Chain A
Amino acid sequence: MDTQFAQRRRRDLIVAGCLAVIAALVPLFVKDVYVQNIMVLTLMYAALSQSWNILSGYCGQISLGHALYFGLGAYTTALLFTKFGVLPWFGMLAGGAISAVIAMALGYPCFRLRGHYFVIATIVIAEIALVLIQNWDWAGAALGIDIPVRGDSWLKFQFARSKLPYFYFALALASVAWLVTWWLEDSKWGYWWRAVKDNPDAAESLGVVVFNSKMGAAAVSAFLVAVGGSFYAQFVSYIDPESVMGFQFSLLMALPAVLGGIGTLWGPVLGAVILIPLTELTRSFIGGSGRGVDLIVYGTLIVVISLALPRGLVSVFSWRKEAAR
């Protein structure tokens, strides 16, 4: 049993490595900017969803307010850069650190709540932050922040002419998020989280410090999502409160993990790879009419997948494997 698990983990690592290499080679053949744009978004959502999955999937504390951390990351980077000239790389780390600290500060009262009360608390906190930022004149209020482009450079992490650097950073981010999850899966924390998810009371009685495990998951998750937010701010070079901190965004972040398979290593990746290109394609090919056909298609897809495959798309693969055995 144990060796089988170790084998599976080794295999996962090899598969992930191969996928990352293949992904890294794709832009050499695909030069189309539109397609590259979709690939960047796909990788970004894979990273975000993977990070969300740590708290909500593994630890079972379903957060529908993760847009808060995404927005914090985006705003910290953008504000530090535009107001103080701090390089985005430091902004990224600062945003991550601030988000992790805030996640723990918020976790302190929130983790006592259970079920829907917790979910609604996460939504509400993100909404409060959204409204506050919308009314914060120094941070651009509802109009948001325009990040001035000052030429292509790795130092400032700005590239006006090419999407490639963004692509490789997004790939790196997705890989890091995946690796962190992979590593945590077999760590002390990983086991604690699954115990907390399945039965917090039993876990507590067996000596798992439930509260601390939740805090740890929240901090890691928030940090990674904030880095994603920083990246997004640099990528689109314009942010406004609604687009980086809105409730919709919290759901969009969770969606790949849920459709792919919540609480699984491959779920978020698989979900993002299928969902994001589909979203973008429906939006650009049939969304142009402005009459909501893309919404109809997209929504129907969500309903059908979530009803047909409650364990997510990864369950299709494991089911096949079991049948082959």
Chain B
Amino acid sequence: MGLLYGLIAAGLALIFGLMDVVNFAHGEFLMIAMYVTFFLFAFFAIDPLLAAPLVAAALFVFGAVVYLLIVRFAMRAKANAGMVQIFSTFGLAIVMRGLAQFFFTPDYRSVTNSWVGGKTVSIAGIYLPEPQLIGAMLSIAAFVALYFFINRTDFGRALEATREDAGAVALVGIDKNRVFALGWGLGAALVGLAGAIMAIFFYIYPDVGASFALIAYVTVALGGFGSVFGAFAGGIIVGLVEATTALILPPSLKSVGIYAVYLLVVFIRPRGLFGSM
């Protein structure tokens, strides 16, 4: 579970690290990804595991479009830039929730009879639910891919460079908007991947994103803004804390542990564990 949190958070961290924008509609991106997975499964009988790349691709396009239509303008705001970003993405979140209610109705849906849903495997006597295990493995794979992508490819370097100094980048002929749009696409694609996996074992409904969005922000901040690796580490910590809290406290209190750990960490290290900003 922690690794999936990490994956959701990595998308947020990428967007944030790239241009200092917190996407308050991140949870709704997740919601859309889960619905896409559901409909691919319901209408075309594509198993969520196979659908994952398709969902990621769809979310990539969606993320890029959101950047071009909304965020691009939010970043141009001359005054109160922070508030404009928060509330324009928050407004977007409300619109997306409304659209989901309108088109998909508020009913709870779930993917049933997928390849791995509901099965468990036993490793050395420990029983693990299969979807979560596969989710964890896919998350690790995605992180490794992301790491190489950012550090080893031209686009990854362009991304880093744009983050460092957008003005200088423009001088050497890189289109800032293109890089940012691709960055948003990539961030959304990561959420898409997470959403496809989570659709296997979570109910899907219009407000589902809200419950994960806050945890994603906490995860990113815990790891430290500006560090994708931090988001990964943050995800693991959040997952562990959640599991530990569930052992000691009643389930209704499980998120308290995560929040308390966040507060503890930032009170000691005001920039998160690995943060640079």
Contacts and interface: CB of A to CB of B under 8 A. Distances in A.
Given A117-B271, A120-B217, A125-B263, A299 B95 contact: yes
A105 B277 CA distance: 26
Contacts of A259: 87
Contacts of A115: 82, 277
A127 interface: yes
Contacts of A134: 252
Given A121-B266, A292-B102, A116 B22 contact: yes
Contacts of B81: 310
Interface string A59-75: 00010100000000000
Nearest to A303: B91
Contacts of A172: none
A113 B87 contact: no
Contacts of B203: none
Given A262-B83, A292-B99, A296-B102, A310 B77 contact: yes
A295 B106 contact: no
B22 A293 contact: no
Contacts of A113: 266, 270
Which bracket fits the contact residues of A?
35 or more
Contacts of B267: 109, 112
B263 A131 contact: no
Given A124-B263, A262-B83, A300-B95, A292 B206 contact: yes
State which size class the interface on B falls in. Answer: 35 or more
Given A117-B266, A117-B271, A120-B217, A307 B84 contact: yes
A128 B88 CA distance: 26
A33 interface: no
Contacts of B73: 307
A251 B90 contact: yes
From A64, A109, A263, residue with most partner B Cβ within 10 Å: A109
A113 B265 CA distance: 11
Contacts of A120: 217-218, 221, 262
A117 B221 contact: yes
B250 A135 contact: yes
B153 to A, nearest CB: 28
Interface in A279-317: 290-304, 306-307, 310-312
Contacts of B122: none
Contacts of B277: 115
B97 to A, nearest CB: 6
A123 interface: yes
B62 interface: no
B243 interface: no
A131 B253 CA distance: 7
Contacts of A295: 94-95, 97-98, 101
B88 A296 contact: no
A255 interface: yes
A126 to B, nearest CB: 10
A263 B102 CA distance: 36
Nearest to B269: A117
A302 B218 contact: no
B95 A123 contact: no
A258 interface: yes
Nearest to B70: A303
A247 interface: yes
A296 B214 contact: no
B100 interface: yes
B252 A132 contact: no
B260 interface: yes
The 4 A-B residue pairs whose C-beta atoms are closest, nearest first, are A295-B98, A292-B101, A302-B91, A299-B94
Interface of B: 16, 22, 70, 73-74, 77-84, 86-88, 90-102, 105-106, 206, 214, 217-218, 221, 225, 250, 252-253, 255-256, 259-260, 262-263, 266-267, 270-272, 277
Given A127-B259, A295-B95, 19 more contacts: A116-B16, A117-B270, A120-B218, A120-B221, A121-B266, A124-B263, A125-B263, A255-B87, A263-B80, A292-B99, A292-B206, A296-B102, A299-B93, A302-B90, A302-B94, A310-B79, A310-B81, A311-B79, A312-B80
7 contacts: A117-B225, A121-B262, A262-B83, A298-B98, A299-B93, A307-B84, A310-B78
